[in-house]
Amino acid sequence: MIGYLLELGYDLCIAPDFNISGNPGFEIVLGVNK
Amino acid sequence: MKKRVVQGFQEMSNKGLRLNLTRKDALIDFLSCLPETLTKTSTRSKIVPGFVSNGQIGDEAKYASKFAFPDFDIMLDTVRREVSKEEYNLCKKTFPELLLYGLKLGEVEEQEYNRLGYPMDEDPCGQEVSKDKITIKQECRQRAKCLSKEYQIEQRHAIVGRHCQVRIKDEKKRDHWSVMWAGKCLPQLSAIMVLFGHVKNDITCLDLNACLLADPSAFKKATTPTGKMMEGCYLYYDTNDGQWIRSGKAVGSNFDKRHKEHSKGSELKDSISQKSKFYSSYPSRSVNLHDNRARKGTFENLQQYIGVGYNKMLKKNMLKDVKDKGIFILIMRSTEGLMPLTSKERADLIQNNAT
């Protein structure tokens, strides 16, 4: 969970136009496999 | 002055600053004359005329007033086309209402201009451009706003909500307890990022589409012998385009292993990697693509940096609940690590977040 949180926090700081991640974060917890 | 600047650069050079000679000389010349330039130009008498000439502040001499108010007529004169009498009267009549709206929200919404009968903007070809559908995602296309206004600050806080709307396709999962928990812990993580110097110095002047992360020099490379063995959050920086492009996590693994997995994926040898936006955007140089439209760069140009890295053996410090002087809000059932929450714990968390 901490790993997901850290990833999400930094993901939110990246400019949306250049961020190539489409992951929502917490994929396994959300039951979303990207 | 120049002598002191040269000495300063020499001291920084001794501490590890490396600049090429041309850049160093240019900086020395610029910094040596900067104080004098600022002294001569940054005076009130030099700055005020610019604001007076576009009407943002009134001419003190003209109004014989210590506090010169904006000049309505001069501001309208800045319009590059002829302003009709109807438009002039409309501006004059509706100004008090627009001012109150701006004072309340920090900007006047497009619907308000439409309601009051203002004509729509036109593109260079004379075609009307509707701004009705422009959301906070296209902030650069919106009208002027005051970013420090409370309402605007709240809008910026909605960034997590925006992330959920874009990335979580299933609407029912957007208020999932894990997302709420993340929202609760993001302030602490933000503090860590600021403490590490990972965030740009002044984010108040950045819009929602800007990168908030500092220059790569503020980060440690994940490719050093020490960094390689850590786990946590890593980042990828496109050294060619000069942009941060992705964050990722290595848990139960380490940064080096994840980098090697990504390197292999960038070769696009299997269907899973071919479907990945990351690998198709940054395929390996060795990949010969028939269609290069999806390519944004080359994997070999990506540098892996550490966001938050920790030693697996010492991570217990991160797993203390905030009530036990830890960093994050955690619900744990044992000291070994996070466990799945019970339905009651989830309900409690949601309830706590709602209050």
pLDDT value for B41? 83
Q: Tokens 């496109």 correspond to what residue?
A: B238
pLDDT value for B202? 80
Share of chain A residues as helix, strand and coil, in percent rounded to the nearest 5: 45, 0, 55
B163 or B2, greater pLDDT: B2
Phi, then psi, of B16 in degrees rounded to 5: 115, 0
Phi, then psi, of B328 in degrees rounded to 5: -105, 165
Contact A6 B308 (CB under 8 A): yes
Number of alpha carbons in the 13 Å side-chain half-sphere of residue B15: 6
Q: What is the pLDDT of residues A1-31, one digit of tens each?
A: 888 888 988 998 888 888 888 788 877 777 7
Using alpha carbons, select from B191, B285, B179, B299 the residue that is nearest to residue B238.
B299
The interface predicted TM-score of the complex, written ipTM, equals 0.91
Q: Whole-number mean pLDDT of chain B? A: 80
- DSSP 3-state of B163: helix
B63 or A6, greater pLDDT: A6
- Nearest-neighbour CA in chain A from B99: distance (Å): 32
Overall average pLDDT of the B187-216 stretch: 84
pLDDT value for B195? 87
Q: Which amino acid is at B181?
A: W
Using alpha carbons, select from A3, B252, B173, B266 the residue that is nearest to residue A11.
A3
Q: Tokens 């999932």 correspond to what residue?
A: B176
Whole-model pTM? 0.56
Per-residue pLDDT band for B335 (boundaries 50, 70, 90) equals very low
B148 or B280, greater pLDDT: B280
Where along chain B do its domains lie? 2-119, 215-308
pLDDT value for B244? 94
Task: Select from A3, A14, A24 the Cβ nearest to the Cβ of B244.
Answer: A14
Q: Which one of B249, B316, B333 makes the best mutation probe of the A interface by having the most chain A beta carbons within 10 Å? A: B249
Residues of A in contact with B246 (CB under 8 A): 11, 14, 19-21
pLDDT value for B353? 43
CA-CA distance, B128 to B136, in Å (whole number)? 21
Overall average pLDDT of the B174-188 stretch: 77
Cβ-based neighbours of B237, under 8 Å, separated by 6 or more: B216, B243, B244, B245, B302, B303, B305
**Touching check for A28 and chain B: CB below 8 Å?**
no
Overall average pLDDT of the B258-276 stretch: 89
Q: Cβ distance B231 to B250 under 8 Å?
A: yes
pLDDT value for A4? 86
Using alpha carbons, select from B322, B37, B41 the residue that is nearest to residue B185.
B322
pLDDT value for B338? 44
Q: Tokens 């925006």 correspond to what residue?
A: B162
pLDDT value for B262? 93
Using alpha carbons, select from B156, B235, B135 the residue that is nearest to residue A21.
B235
Q: Which residues between 152 and 211 in chain B have a beta carbon less than 8 angstroms from any beta carbon of chain A?
A: 159-160, 163-164, 167-170, 173, 176, 178-179, 181-182, 185-186, 189-190, 193, 198-199, 208-211
Q: Which one of B178, B209, B251 makes the best mutation probe of the A interface by having the most chain A beta carbons within 10 Å? A: B178
Residues in chain A: 34
Task: Select from B167, B212, B233 the Cβ nearest to the Cβ of A3.
Answer: B233
Helix (H) / strand (E) containing B157 = helix B150-157
- List the single range of B73-87, B195-209, B288-302 with lowest mean pLDDT: B195-209
CA-CA distance, B290 to B334, in Å (whole number)? 53
* Residue B302 pLDDT greater than 90, yes or no: yes
* Residue B180 pLDDT greater than 80, yes or no: no
pLDDT value for A17? 84
Q: What is the pLDDT of residues B203-238, one digit of tens each?
A: 777 777 788 899 999 999 998 888 888 888 999 999
Cβ-based neighbours of B256, under 8 Å, separated by 6 or more: B222, B223, B228, B229
pLDDT value for B216? 93
* Residue B347 pLDDT greater than 60, yes or no: no
Using alpha carbons, select from B252, B243, B138, B233 the residue that is nearest to residue B192.
B233
Helix (H) / strand (E) containing B354 = helix B343-354
B81-108: burial string, b at 16+ Cβ within 10 Å, e else = eeeeeebeebbeebeeeeeebbeebbbb
pLDDT value for B127? 82
Overall average pLDDT of the B106-133 stretch: 81
Q: Tokens 């005051």 correspond to what residue?
A: B146
pLDDT value for B69? 79
pLDDT value for B47? 84
pLDDT value for B132? 66
pLDDT value for B140? 62
